[in-house]
Structure 1
Amino acid sequence: MAETRAIGAAERRARLGVRHLLAGGARAGSAEEVVDGLVALHGTDPASVFLAVGARLSGAPGGLGPVGDVERALYEDRSLVRMHGMRHTVFVLPSGLAAAVQASTTDPAAVRERGTLLKHLAAGSPLDATWLAETERLVLAELAVRGEATGTELGDAVPALRSTYVYGKGTRQEGVQSVASRVLRVLGMEGRIVRGRPQGSWTSSRFRWAPAVPHPALDPAEARAELIRRWLGACGPATEADLKWWTGWKVTEVRGALAAVGAVPVGLDEGTGFVLPDDLEPVPPEGAGPEPWAALLPALDPTPMGWQGRDWYLDPEHRAALFDRSGNIGPTVWWNGRIVGGWAQRPDGEIVHRLLTNVGAEAVRAIGVEAERLAGWVGVVRVTPRFRTPLERELGAGQPPGGTAAQ
């Protein structure tokens, strides 16, 4: 019987630097390369998508820069798509992966979302499934004519979309709510409409809606296998718990997908992990490790949010400063595969950071270079994370109490 391959924390951090396009020589040339390499970017906070790409981009085609390159991919070429996916969360994905995410993850969530909406309508209004189907038909017809429209514009064109219902009737949460956002959410989750270009700048969450390109219908089990194959290629090794957390699937679905791709168990510090069958060679090869690297990653970046077990790249003592109460991570500072601090943007636009551990002079210089690079392309735009964390709040407010913000 073959001995189980052991992969220690140092090797995992080396894999992370290269495969997550953070080590200097591993950076990408386009937004598509970044998203393809990472599988998916968290899209709940629109600014995070642009910041995550910018941290990994060596130079965009035509000198577009991170903002122009992401906007081109999302809204012109449509090579990237923003949609609901894993854990009922909005992600930006390669368009070629959208069908697998839809079949493996979004379709079951959409069924629950539609059922919940109908339940709420039945309890708090005279509106029913027939009304909902007709309203959806009118919305889709309007979008087919317009090409894209905001929720407000659709409400003006389809008055039924301005209907209301009583939410939480008879409870402390009782209140009148509009159906518009719920109806558009269901249509989006079912892959019938898609978020288009937002109103305002790249930090805005007020999206226009557009007709979606239909996804090919895939077998859910095959779709889960495809998603796991892609994810292990970018993030392996990972434990069963990591995979269950990231996908939001049942344990049986995770195990079925691991079996379908022939995943191989390996020994990790926290227990058994899994890699693809062709990914057992040491990474990097002897004497060929990546050069030391630094990075400033945004809130909800896919690297710190890639695994449920994070002790191999995050000191547990730093969690309280870097996460909010719901488990969302704020902006982080990285050195050689570890989170070593956090950063924020002050109201005057200045990018500041604080190191939570002693990293040495070389790291301080490299982190400073990354901070300058970030400030250079963000420019006059002000970026405030949607989910704010203790350290980010302190730094963003100005001189933080109990410490000195590193410039």
Structure 2
Amino acid sequence: MTATETTVTWAEASARRFERQFLASPAPGSTPVAEVVSTMLGAHAQVLSAAEASVGLRRSGATRADVRTALWEDRSLVKTFGPRGTVHLLPTHELPLWCAALSAVPTGLSPFSSGARLTEEQARQVVAAIGDALDGTCLTMDELSEEVVARTGPWAGDLVMPAFQGMWPRWRQVLHRAGWAGTLSFGPQRGRKVTYTRPPAVDIATPPDADAALSTFVSRYLHAYGPSTPRHFAKWLAAPVGWATKVFRDLAAGGAIEEVGFEGGAGWWVTAGDTDFPQDRSQKRDQPLPPARGVRLLPYFDAYLIAAQPRERLFPGEAYERALAGGQAGNYPVLLIDGVVAGVWHQRRSGRRTTITVEPLKPLTTRQERELAEQAERVGEVLEAKPELVVGKVTVGAHA
């Protein structure tokens, strides 16, 4: 696996990622919301308003209503468990690919004690029971729990999982695997309660071959966020590094991916043939910088913040301490300036108004102040609120 003659700089990689993420300029207003989410490789949706902002900011004129329509009315999006076992919005028509690829990721060692764990056979029983219970209906967590225990056995209901305010039943250890199997997705809220249901009807019963799905999956990941390494791919998926290394090795042997030089180092990969990058002209005074320019406000767990690497370049200097939480990206909404993190922000909504407090880590130029005001207005439009911009200290903690 010898590197090609292609050598990529951070500025070039950042510029290409910006373009492909609809961050250099938003997608046209005619672009389906699901297509935007497909380009992102999913929108993290543990906090749904953050997902709505992530998607809305990437399409001209989009608001949270467009995301909700795609999710609950035309069902072109589905809310389910995606990378890292976390809640994501995914394009419905891509569920077979996601299910095949995610199900092929090794689960690793359970974090629970030996007395609390499920055996693999028990896990399979639970996933099947979840699918049976949700067929043609929406259930709250309590209702689903009753159905799972009834279909498996009392062992599934044992309160052995440490939770926020008590203990959860044993079966919930594999709730995310039901999402990966295509037997569970989130349904509409029932009052303040979350519900679960079967995902929209797509051909999940005959998913792609696992090897073919992984090849497509890696190729799309590298198209969106490359150059990247097996270690970074593993981090994005919460997968074993050794497994990811073998996947990349096999794909390289088959000619599906190729190695490039990146920032003077080897071991970085792109999809085979995908070696065109915006030229880094930053050292030539008579030429403009690459197009990863301008001010952006990105919400919690934005896909770009999670996947773009190396993280030390995306979060330079003080930003690495201020905008990360123990090295973990996404816990703070961030201010991006020219493609790198340059501050944090927070919004507090009250009725139809929202106060957007932005804490830059360095003084802003007049142009950057103007672009920041424009970004705050756009965030307000996406969230269907009248924004008030305040530049000052963000006093709330991570993921507040």
Counterpart residue number, 1:48: 50
Alpha carbons 2:6, 2:261 under 8 Å: kept: yes
Counterpart residue number, 1:375: 380
Which whole-Å deviations, capped at 9, do the CAs of 1:142-180 have from their partners, x for residues lacking one? 53343x2322344577773896414279xxx9x753356
Given the superposition, is the C-alpha separation of residues 93 and 208 from structure 1 closer, same or farther in structure 2, using an over 3 Å criterion? same
Residue of structure 2 aligned with 1:191, choices 157, 182, 185: 182
Counterpart residue number, 2:73: 76
User: Which amino acid in structure 2 is aligned with residue 343 of structure 1?
Assistant: W
Given the superposition, is the C-alpha separation of residues 48 and 270 from structure 1 closer, same or farther in structure 2, using an over 3 Å criterion? farther
Counterpart residue number, 2:10: 9
Counterpart residue number, 2:315: 314
Which whole-Å deviations, capped at 9, do the CAs of 1:38-87 have from their partners, x for residues lacking one? 12222333332111012212124xxxx2x221122222333223333333
Whole-angstrom distance in 2 between the partners of 1:195 and 1:381: 29
Counterpart residue number, 2:223: 233
Residue of structure 2 aligned with 1:32, choices 17, 31, 34: 34
Counterpart residue number, 1:23: 24
Counterpart residue number, 2:135: 144
Q: What are structure 2's unaligned runs of at least 5 residues?
A: 282-286, 388-392
SS at match of 1:24: coil
Whole-angstrom distance in 1 between the partners of 2:85 and 2:399: 29
Given the superposition, is the C-alpha separation of residues 80 and 13 from structure 1 closer, same or farther in structure 2, using an over 3 Å criterion? same
Residue of structure 2 aligned with 1:335, choices 314, 320, 337: 337
Given the superposition, is the C-alpha separation of residues 131 and 89 from structure 1 closer, same or farther in structure 2, using an over 3 Å criterion? closer
Aligned-pair distance for 1:231? 1.1
Alpha carbons 1:55, 1:295 under 8 Å: kept: no
Whole-angstrom distance in 2 between the partners of 1:59 and 1:244: 35
User: Which amino acid in structure 2 is aligned with residue 15 of structure 1?
Assistant: R
Alpha carbons 2:344, 2:360 under 8 Å: kept: yes
Whole-angstrom distance in 1 between the partners of 2:314 and 2:341: 6
SS at match of 1:304: helix
Which whole-Å deviations, capped at 9, do the CAs of 1:312-358 have from their partners, x for residues lacking one? 32214312211223714210011221111111013653111011123
SS at match of 1:343: strand
Check if 1:91 corresponds to 2:77. Answer: no
Alpha carbons 1:345, 1:351 under 8 Å: kept: yes
- Structure (1/2) with the larger helix percentage: 1
Counterpart residue number, 2:276: 281
SS at match of 2:7: coil
Aligned-pair distance for 1:95? 2.7
Given the superposition, is the C-alpha separation of residues 165 and 270 from structure 1 closer, same or farther in structure 2, using an over 3 Å criterion? farther
Counterpart residue number, 2:197: 210
Counterpart residue number, 2:210: 220
Alpha carbons 2:52, 2:382 under 8 Å: kept: no
Q: Normalising to structure 2: TM-score of the pair?
A: 0.77
Check if 1:177 corresponds to 2:178. Answer: no
Superposed CA RMSD in Å reads: 4.0
Whole-angstrom distance in 1 between the partners of 2:272 and 2:92: 26
Counterpart residue number, 2:348: 346
Whole-angstrom distance in 2 between the partners of 1:371 and 1:178: 43
Given the superposition, is the C-alpha separation of residues 101 and 260 from structure 1 closer, same or farther in structure 2, using an over 3 Å criterion? farther
Alpha carbons 1:40, 1:93 under 8 Å: kept: yes
The size of the alignment, in residue pairs, is 370
Whole-angstrom distance in 2 between the partners of 1:396 and 1:223: 33
Note the 1:380-395 alignment, pairs <5 A.
393=396
Given the superposition, is the C-alpha separation of residues 40 and 17 from structure 1 closer, same or farther in structure 2, using an over 3 Å criterion? same
Alpha carbons 2:52, 2:383 under 8 Å: kept: no
- Structure (1/2) with the larger strand percentage: 2
Which whole-Å deviations, capped at 9, do the CAs of 1:199-248 have from their partners, x for residues lacking one? 45xxx8x5321123452322222111100111111112223322222232
User: Which amino acid in structure 2 is aligned with residue 322 of structure 1?
Assistant: A
Alpha carbons 1:31, 1:73 under 8 Å: kept: yes
Bigger shift: residues 48-57 or 89-98: 89-98
Bigger shift: residues 11-20 or 211-220: 211-220
Whole-angstrom distance in 2 between the partners of 1:43 and 1:367: 25
Which whole-Å deviations, capped at 9, do the CAs of 1:360-382 have from their partners, x for residues lacking one? 22112101110122123424599
SS at match of 1:303: helix
Given the superposition, is the C-alpha separation of residues 130 and 244 from structure 1 closer, same or farther in structure 2, using an over 3 Å criterion? closer
SS at match of 2:251: helix
User: Which amino acid in structure 2 is aligned with residue 275 of structure 1?
Assistant: V
Alpha carbons 2:294, 2:338 under 8 Å: kept: yes
Counterpart residue number, 2:390: none
Identity %: 23
Bigger shift: residues 309-318 or 287-296: 287-296
Aligned-pair distance for 1:102? 1.8
Which whole-Å deviations, capped at 9, do the CAs of 1:110-133 have from their partners, x for residues lacking one? 7988x989963789xxxx978994
SS at match of 1:341: strand
Alpha carbons 2:236, 2:307 under 8 Å: kept: yes
Whole-angstrom distance in 1 between the partners of 2:398 and 2:81: 31
Aligned-pair distance for 1:4? 1.7
Note the 1:122-137 alignment, pairs <5 A.
133=125
Given the superposition, is the C-alpha separation of residues 111 and 319 from structure 1 closer, same or farther in structure 2, using an over 3 Å criterion? closer
Residue of structure 2 aligned with 1:253, choices 247, 250, 256: 247
